[in-house]
Structure 1
């Protein structure tokens, strides 16, 4: 048994803490906010989506992104102000294009394993998080869009994903409330959706029941390490404490992981990519009846939607490269509202809650899981837009690596 600190109380940190506790370790979880899951794990698109596992590093995606730069309401927005971190990240993004196929297949395999762990944990700990095991429907508005994804479809299926093409008639059967015309789509019956915030908080409570010490409102100011031990310097309201010693530390701090890694001589190529969501409150029966039951992904707009229980519809998407800016911009929220009004016109958008979060994204879109320069520091971070989908799988992986670690 090891004495282990986990830094970060989002979905990645909490799943990591849980996987470590199940293996008998003594775990302390540090979280800067008052509750678990209050930042990037608060209001994402809700999809547990192996079907959305394609990495973004491809020439078609890059060319599409360049066209989007000139449209203010496009899915991608890049602040033209240069920074070395952003330029270095974008250069590495392009350099990873040759690895597109391999990384996509590996991401699918991780996602398939992760969702089985997550379902099992939710059942074991009796966590209610508005889980819907109705699959995910990916829709295409034109034949060109549909044909462009045929290669990706082959990759996903070869990696083990059950994903089948569907006709416009079958789309209407799967989701009768969808008021739009499509050329076709793909349906992934094994995918699911749910409320990431509810799950994270439920699993955090389970961690405490299993003996974890969770210290909320504790900002980690510094990480120190040598070959045998690691030290966490944390405190509240800039009042730093004495370093706390651990056999191992696992950094799961999202976009904050890069700075902590630098403290111990590791470089993590993580950039904050902002995403937006809206939560539509379905307060009248007409809206509840007209809102979708199945989770959707619209290829043209790169938007996803998920039904969260009876009274909420979550719509999310967009990617904004604008540093650590967390502002919620009205011009980025409006396309999400219009999408609901166009596709589900009977759903009232009178009561909409906007949100934005910073995804910790690596240039090759692959999470960073494993030890750093010092054997006492491990990382489980950089999951990008798939943190909800991959979290349980990478938590299991880093916990297995720590079980194999005999150096302490």
Structure 2
């Protein structure tokens, strides 16, 4: 078949590669002139296979009023009555129920495990260089309540391949000398030695170079999609600013823009853009290099050591601003990341920190939507939220299986659109 993949971020690229490997003729369409742009360009860098808990939770629901009123809150909603946010928010509140959270965690863990395996195979087979390493992940908790909740969750789950260790404050600081905190500032931590880091933008660039060597992959970049072309209840083409593209099947991987395309196709896609920020620091030689990726749970910030050749950087990322489609940088949020870097790592971040922001495509329950749409011929692989880099390769595998009507590796349809309706 000829399959058109709409979107050339990490989700679209891995999907296109998987479909081409399966023998399909693929054309990749994206509004940007290069691949790996938008939310894939400078994300947190963590490949977080064991920590896949959704944003929606009973604990967050209890804290939401105080979070929204706090000036420096990691979550912000711009004042105004956006009907799309109201509809999404109602579903978000339902997703905060305990049974919904556990269902999501189970599904995400399965997809994350598949994604880890697929990424390892892909990077080894193609010899991709993007700084992939097993750095381990330390999650630090500042309040006793959050720490006790995390410890209880680990006890319920038991141990597995991603065995998690519960640490005291002193053990956290001994494990990661790069942290400049006092033991009195921490309640404890959870460490997972098997977690990884990698540069998503470098991965996209390396994979694109390999894909351009294939004869069954075409490219139409710098071509924003104008709208769908339907006939008899089926999608048979898309109009772009560079002309019409016809195909047998289409895969929607347009990130935060997926919702608007779905609306033009005549159905509702429960995806809302959640803006995140990052800065990229080059630590001075006289500081302790960060050995592990670190997550500050209370502030919802991540710190990941990334390597590109001989160069070592630290990616600091986080924040969840619900501001519709506003992709402009609010430098007050960049200042939040600067101050956190100074406090947590003792690094002067007053110089060039390569500020970035991007719109993450978030579903109410944080699970991506991977399955057929109500419009014949259109498949959806979108809505990965904060875990796009982690879940990309597994999502691509699942997409290819479902399009080719092979028994999916993950059964039961936990990512189908109807589950989020």
* 1:45 counterpart residue number: 44
Equivalent residues, number? 397
- Change in 2 beyond 3 A, CA 1:362/1:156: farther
* 1:177 counterpart residue number: 178
* Mean CA deviation greater in 82-91 or 60-69: 60-69
Task: Find the aligned partners of 2:325 and 2:347 in 1 and give their Cα distance.
Answer: 37
Q: How does 1:8-407 map to 2 (within 5 A)?
A: 8-98=7-97, 99-154=100-155, 157=158, 161-180=162-181, 181=183, 182-211=186-215, 212-225=217-230, 226=232, 230-236=236-242, 241=243, 243-282=244-283, 284-286=284-286, 289-309=287-307, 310-346=311-347, 349-404=350-405
Listed as ranges, the gaps of 5+ residues in structure 2 are 407-421
Task: Find the aligned partners of 2:356 and 2:155 in 1 and give their Cα distance.
Answer: 35
- Change in 2 beyond 3 A, CA 1:14/1:273: same
SS at match of 2:404: helix
* 2:414 counterpart residue number: none
* Mean CA deviation greater in 5-14 or 56-65: 56-65
Task: Find the aligned partners of 1:21 and 1:233 in 2 and give their Cα distance.
Answer: 23
Q: Is the 1:77–1:321 Cα contact (8 Å) retained in structure 2?
A: yes
Normalising to structure 1: TM-score of the pair? 0.92
Task: Find the aligned partners of 1:18 and 1:155 in 2 and give their Cα distance.
Answer: 38
- Change in 2 beyond 3 A, CA 1:154/1:233: farther
- Change in 2 beyond 3 A, CA 1:271/1:346: closer
Task: Find the aligned partners of 2:178 and 2:382 in 1 and give their Cα distance.
Answer: 37
Listed as ranges, the gaps of 5+ residues in structure 1 are none
Q: CA deviation at 1:364?
A: 1.4
Task: Find the aligned partners of 2:2 and 2:349 in 1 and give their Cα distance.
Answer: 51
- Change in 2 beyond 3 A, CA 1:160/1:294: closer
Q: CA deviation at 1:120?
A: 1.7
CA RMSD of aligned residues (A): 2.0
* 2:410 counterpart residue number: none
Task: Find the aligned partners of 1:348 and 1:77 in 2 and give their Cα distance.
Answer: 23
Normalising to structure 2: TM-score of the pair? 0.89
